[in-house]
Structures are given as C-alpha cells and as structure tokens.
Amino acid sequence: MPIFIFGIDLPGKESFSKLDISSIQQKLSQENSGEVFVAVSDNSFEVFVASEKRDVFEDQFWKLFRREFGPSFDKLKADCFRLDGLAAIRHFFKRIIGMTDSGELDQSAQDIRRYFLSARERNSIGPLFNRLYQRGLWLAEKVRIELHAHKNAITPETVVAGLAQKIFGDLNEHSALIISKSLRCETFVQQLCGKNLGQMLLLDLRTGNLQEMCEEYRGKMVAEDQLSQVLASVDLVLSFDNEYLSPSLISRAMNRRKNAPLLWATLSEENGSQGHKPDFSNFYNIYYYDQADLENIVASNLKEHQKITGLVNQLIDKEVADFLNWVHSNEQYRFGNIIGKSRAMQEILELVARIAQTDISVLVDGESGTGKELVARAIHEHSSRAQKPFIIVNCGAVPETLLESELFGHVRGAFTGATSNKKGLFEAANHGTIFLDEIGETSPATQVKLLRFLQDGEIKPIGSNQTVHLDVRVIAATNRDLAQMVHDGSFRQDLYYRLNVIQLTIPPLRERREDILPLAEYFIRKCAKKINKTVYGLDGDAQKTLYNYNWLGNIRELENAMERAVALSSGNVLIKLDLPPAVINHHQAKSGNHQAANLTLKELERRHISAALEEHDWNYDLVTKILGIGRTTLWRKMKEYKISNMEGRKESNPDSQFYEKRSFSDAPGTRS
C-alpha cells in the first residue's frame, strides 16, 4: 500500500485551528479503505494516507474542505503540497521527531502524536502507520538522547532568548522593552514569553495590530514620554528602530540605572536603517548586539547544527530503508522478534520503543509463555547497548544458594568448593543488559544485593572486600504477582519499587485473540522450514478453532501446537484434524483442564474445582460428592483460590457470599 501525504503549509497567514478535525477524520476513514489521519497546527494541516486509492481520498477531502472554507478554498488548494513514497515516509519521521524544515527540533512533535493517537482511537490506523509511529518514537528518543540536537539556537529569536537567560538566569523577575513599528517583533516576543519573561513593555506608537499583540501576550503599553524612566529600570531592550532613542535620552537613562546589567539588541527592520548605534562606552554591564552580531552567532551555530542534522538525516534514511524492507517482507506486525497486531501489544511495543534508549530498569510481567524474554531482548536490541552482552538468568532455575555466586561471583575460598575466583553474570553483562527471569523466586539475601546494585551500581563478589562498579541495565520478569508478594512480606518493597520503574504487563494470548493467527502462521513457517515440509497456512476451520481456543499456556502452547500440527499434517494446508486433540475438544473442557502440562498443582486444583462448580451449576452437594471432599474443604479451597460464582452474585469474596446471600443451610461447611 503506498503512503502519501498532502496538505497545506501557510505560516502565519491562515488559521486552521477552527477546523473540525474529528469529523473530517471520521468521514475520511469511514468511507474509504486504508489508513488515514489528519494533523493540524495553527498554520498548516496535513493528511497522512496509506491506501491504494489515493485519488478517492484526496477528492473527498477537498470536498469536505470546501464546505469548511467556502470561497477562499481555491486559493488554498493551489498551495497544496503532496509527498509520495520515500519522501512521505521521511516527512512522517521528521514530524514525529519534531524536526522542522530548517532542521530545528521543536514542540510540534507533541501535537502530531496527539492527533495520531486520537485517530487510532477511531480505528483508522492500521499496521503501516502503527509501525511508522513506533519506529518514529524510537528514533525521536535516540535523537534526543544521543545528539542533544534541541540545544542549538539557530534563529536570532532563540539567540536573544539564550543571551537573556545567560545574563539573568530565570527571566520571570525581569522585564523587556520592545520598540517596533511593525509586527516583526512578534516572534521575539513569543520566544521570550516562552521563557517566562516577567513583564513585556511595548512602546506605544499608536499602531492597531501592535496593541492587539500586546494584549495577547499580556504586555503593557508605554507612552513615549515615559521612555527615559522605563529605560532606567528595564533589563532587556529589543529595538527595531533606534530613532526614538536620542543619545541624550539614552545616556540620561543609563546614568540612572546604576549599571544594572542590560541586554540591548538592535534589529534592523527589513534592510532599513537601524538608526544610530547607541554609545555605551561610559557604562559597563551592558551587552549590546546588533543585527549583524546576532546573524554571526546564528551562522556559527548553524554550522554546528548542520553536523547534527546530517546525522539525524542519516538515521532517518536508515529507518526509511528498514521500513521498506519490513513492508516487502512477510513480517508485518513485528517489532524486533515480537509479533503483535493487537492494540494491547502495540501499546507495549510503543513503550518499548520509547524506553529502550534509557537506562531505567524495567519489570516485565505476564503469564508463563507470553514472551517476556522476547520483550526484554527487544529492549536490549533497541538500546545503545545492543552490541554489548545480553545475559539471561532464570532465578527460579538456579538453586537459591548458588544464585548469589552465580550473579555476583565469588573469590577463592569464599566457601567450600570455591577453589578459584569466579566472575559473576553481572560482571559478564557489564555495559550490557541482564535479564532476571522469575525474579520473585530470589531469596531475601539476593534481593538485598540486587537492591544495592540498583541503587549504587555496585556489586560485591561473595567473600570479597572490594566492591566492583558496573554499568548494567536490569530487566526483570515475573509471572507472579509481585505487589501481592510485597504485601505478604516475601519480596522486598524497596527492591520492588526500584525494579518497577517501568512496568510492562504482557496480556495473555486469550485477551488478544487478534494475535493468534499471525503468530500461528509465523510458527507454521518456522516449523515447516525446520523439518523441510511445505506448509502454507491454515484452512478456515482450523483458523476458527485456533481463534476460539483458550490458550492457557499462551504463546508457548501455541508454538508447540503448531509444531505438532506441522509434523503430523499430510497436506499443504493445515486442517482442523491436524491440531492437537486438546485444542479441538476445547468445547467440552471450557476451563481447559486438559492443558495441564505447564501448570502448578495448585493451579490445576483451582481450575478443576471451578470447572466442577460451573459444570454442576454451583450445586455444592453434588460437587463435594464428585470431588470426594468435605464441605469444609471445599469452602476452604474456594476461599484460598478466590473462586466465587461471578455470574450469580457480584461479590468476589466467598465469605460474604455464603453467609449473607445464601441461606445458612445451603452454605458448604455448615453441616460437616
């Protein structure tokens, strides 16, 4: 699907902010097939479209637009710009990063992100723009962190504001006097007010539109006869015309101000004369800049800036090439090795894109088999540490006593059997990332050491007196409820908060069924390649079965099911009968108690009890007989596993349910 962008860019002439964007957006996306979103700022609007039928989109848009603008429409349409293919993709990235045409970074990125998200709320965004958006966020963070590109002042306005801040620090207790006949000063006022200027004073030259501007920025008009008095107390003078300031007036004012620091910028008004140059030779603490000085500074900053924008453009080009590769490959909905087209997954991947560049620790939680390790790997591979080691430790798989030495290392003689120095995995992961799976299984002693590392970046090998300073990013994962463990006291609260700076909760597969089929197809391709079989995909019936199945073992279960199906299949397309019996028969086993392979005993028991209860319509007498346990036991187990009849009653607490809602004799446990 080709991507194209069209829009109008009219700086400072026409306001588009009155447009009813949401209705335009809605009409465009309802009546056409494709992805579309509209972004608007004060003086431009852009329509981003990914569709086969670009003409239809454009025609319809102009129709809507004509309705909004009426007669001035034709003139506007003539100024329209269109971008296709590569140029459009590049433009999109630049907008997401917030880079203007001159290469400056500004706040516009916030706006376009907002429009994008609201368009997605209305379901008019598909995989293409989602992908672009994700990569764009990642790129923006990279640019921000690595290149500091936002710091350079490359316009006279920003230079003046920067000078003012260098002299006065915080501007909110300082005032500026502006002498200008035209609105040329507005961009300066805007920039200064953006830096929290305390008070703006404007010389009253009886010009209507200046008065308007003055009100807009909450300034104050100053009459000409007050000028000397104002000059004596003001901190910043922006003069577009020095003819109102006679030398005697200036020297009188300067004498009165007792050498308080003053920034004076004289700006020529469209090549006109800038009047005389004030003579400040008798005064100090005055910083005088004229138009030429400011332009020199801008020019030298621009040189620096071009180096940076060159780098940014290189990054964008690389990202565009990657995007095209991705479009032509068969791996849509992918980020790193993660496949996910569901909204929940997209949001997680966006978060991953934004935090990957930073060093903050991340806690990934989700049921077993949801792909926590893949997420961690994706974070690592999209960070600046990508070339450095990525170490995986399964804290549940290593005996508790060994885990500490495994992670932090030990020195010779630290304990029986420690015959030599051994470096820990943390040291092996130096400058890289360590992924601590099953973090909930660690002992309190190890938790203390982890906490110390997260706080000070230091570890101490067992038996050693020396701390080692390391630079390792920590990503932890768990399938247990850590907040609950903190509550129970089995997990340290401080460590929990340290780890949980960013929490990524990966939803189970059954809560994002849109992902089942893309994943299944991916696994089929992968397995078919492995065992050298030609299998293309699934037939409709098989797709439906997969889609409706509960997948309690999540992606891991899906992968195993697909592996089995591919191995057993006789044709080129998988049919329902190739799938594992458990998947086919899931109607008989609503709660999936056949898929016990990856469950703990407790979980199995919980599922079995709730299944029995549901099957027999919460008839406790019958259920106790079937399960072969007494009523007290049933009641205790229900309480323990928090099983309750959600359909009949709202309460989730079995106690209240039994004693308040049910008759006393009906409650389990009262008779035995």
Partner 1 sequence: MKEILRIFSWLISVLYLIGFTYYLAYFKEKKEPQALRIRKWIIGATLFHTLYLVLLSLKLGHLPVGDIFKVLTTCAWFFMAVYLILEIRLQEMTMGVFFLPIIVILQSISNLFLDVDKPLAAVLTDVLFEVHVAIMISAYAAFSISFISSVMYILLSREMQSKKLGIFFERLPSLEFFDKLSNQAVNIGLVVVTLGILLGFYMGMNVWEGRWALDPKLLAVLISWAIYLTHFVTRKSIGWQGRRAAIVSVIGYNWLLFSFLIVSVFFTKFHKFQ
Q: Which residues bind partner 1 (CB under 8 A)?
A: 163, 165-170, 258-261, 284-285, 287, 289, 293, 296-297, 300
Q: Compute the least distance from the CB of residue 484 to partner 1, in Å.
A: 34
Residue 159 or 623: the one with the smaller Cβ distance to partner 1 is: 159
Residue 284 or 664: the one with the smaller Cβ distance to partner 1 is: 284
Q: Compute the least distance from the CB of residue 644 to partner 1, in Å.
A: 52
Residue 73 or 280: the one with the smaller Cβ distance to partner 1 is: 280
Cα–Cα distance measured from residue 421 to residue 412, given in angstroms and rounded to the nearest whole number: 5
Residue 388 or 422: the one with the smaller Cβ distance to partner 1 is: 388
**Contact call for residues 491 and 485 (beta carbons, < 8 A):** yes
Closest among 489, 368, 345, 335 to 437, alpha carbons compared: 368
Give SS3 for 381: helix
Q: Compute the least distance from the CB of residue 262 to partner 1, in Å.
A: 10
Q: Compute the least distance from the CB of residue 305 to partner 1, in Å.
A: 13
Residue 265 or 477: the one with the smaller Cβ distance to partner 1 is: 265
* Strand runs labelled E in 204-276: 220-222, 236-239, 262-266
Closest among 114, 197, 121, 208 to 157, alpha carbons compared: 197
Residue 364 or 472: the one with the smaller Cβ distance to partner 1 is: 472
Q: Compute the least distance from the CB of residue 146 to partner 1, in Å.
A: 11
Query: Which H/E stretch holds residue 458?
Result: strand 458-459
Cα–Cα distance measured from residue 620 to residue 640, given in angstroms and rounded to the nearest whole number: 17
Residue 17 or 300: the one with the smaller Cβ distance to partner 1 is: 300
Q: Compute the least distance from the CB of residue 451 to partner 1, in Å.
A: 18
Cα 651 to chain centroid, rounded:
37
Give SS3 for 176: strand
Residue 80 or 167: the one with the smaller Cβ distance to partner 1 is: 167
Residue 226 or 255: the one with the smaller Cβ distance to partner 1 is: 255
Residue 79 or 173: the one with the smaller Cβ distance to partner 1 is: 173
Cα–Cα distance measured from residue 184 to residue 651, given in angstroms and rounded to the nearest whole number: 67
Q: Compute the least distance from the CB of residue 284 to partner 1, in Å.
A: 5
Residue 286 or 450: the one with the smaller Cβ distance to partner 1 is: 286
DSSP class per residue in 505-562: EEPPGGG-GGGHHHHHHHHHHHHHHHTT----EE-HHHHHHHHHS--TTHHHHHHHHH
Task: Report the number of secondary-structure helices (H) and strands (E) in the chain.
Answer: 27, 23
Q: Compute the least distance from the CB of residue 454 to partner 1, in Å.
A: 14
Cα–Cα distance measured from residue 133 to residue 136, given in angstroms and rounded to the nearest whole number: 5
Place of tokens 């990235």: 93
Residue 286 or 499: the one with the smaller Cβ distance to partner 1 is: 286
**Contact call for residues 389 and 428 (beta carbons, < 8 A):** yes
Q: Compute the least distance from the CB of residue 235 to partner 1, in Å.
A: 10
Q: Compute the least distance from the CB of residue 187 to partner 1, in Å.
A: 20
Q: Compute the least distance from the CB of residue 457 to partner 1, in Å.
A: 8
Find the largest Cα–Cα distance for the chain: 108
Question: The tokens of 321 are what?
Answer: 């090439």
Q: HSE-up of 117 (CA within 13 Å, CB side)?
A: 10
Q: Compute the least distance from the CB of residue 148 to partner 1, in Å.
A: 9
Q: Compute the least distance from the CB of residue 164 to partner 1, in Å.
A: 9
Residue 303 or 412: the one with the smaller Cβ distance to partner 1 is: 303
Q: How many CB atoms lie within 10 A of CB 198?
A: 14
Burial class (CB in 10 A: 0-12, 13-18, 19+), 414: middle
Which residues lie closer than 8 Å to 31 by C-beta, 6 or more apart? 60
Residue 458 or 640: the one with the smaller Cβ distance to partner 1 is: 458
Cα–Cα distance measured from residue 115 to residue 325, given in angstroms and rounded to the nearest whole number: 27
Q: Compute the least distance from the CB of residue 222 to partner 1, in Å.
A: 24
Residue 60 or 384: the one with the smaller Cβ distance to partner 1 is: 384
CA distances from 544 to 331, 514, 537, 547, 584 (A): 22, 12, 13, 5, 10
Give 3-state DSSP helix, strand, coil % of the chain, rounded to 5: 50, 15, 35
* Strand runs labelled E in 322-396: 334-335, 338-339, 362-366, 390-394
Cα–Cα distance measured from residue 240 to residue 269, given in angstroms and rounded to the nearest whole number: 6
Rg (CA), the chain: 34
- Bridge partners of residue 83, in order along the sequence: 5
Q: Compute the least distance from the CB of residue 378 to partner 1, in Å.
A: 24
The runs of H, that is alpha helices, within 79-226 are 85-97, 108-121, 127-142, 156-168, 186-194, 208-216
Q: Compute the least distance from the CB of residue 431 to partner 1, in Å.
A: 12
Residue 168 or 658: the one with the smaller Cβ distance to partner 1 is: 168
Q: HSE-up of 516 (CA within 13 Å, CB side)?
A: 24
**Contact call for residues 113 and 328 (beta carbons, < 8 A):** no
Cα–Cα distance measured from residue 288 to residue 567, given in angstroms and rounded to the nearest whole number: 81
Residue 296 or 656: the one with the smaller Cβ distance to partner 1 is: 296
Amino acid identity for residue 40 in this structure: V
Q: Compute the least distance from the CB of residue 162 to partner 1, in Å.
A: 8
Q: What is the DSSP letter of 276?
A: P
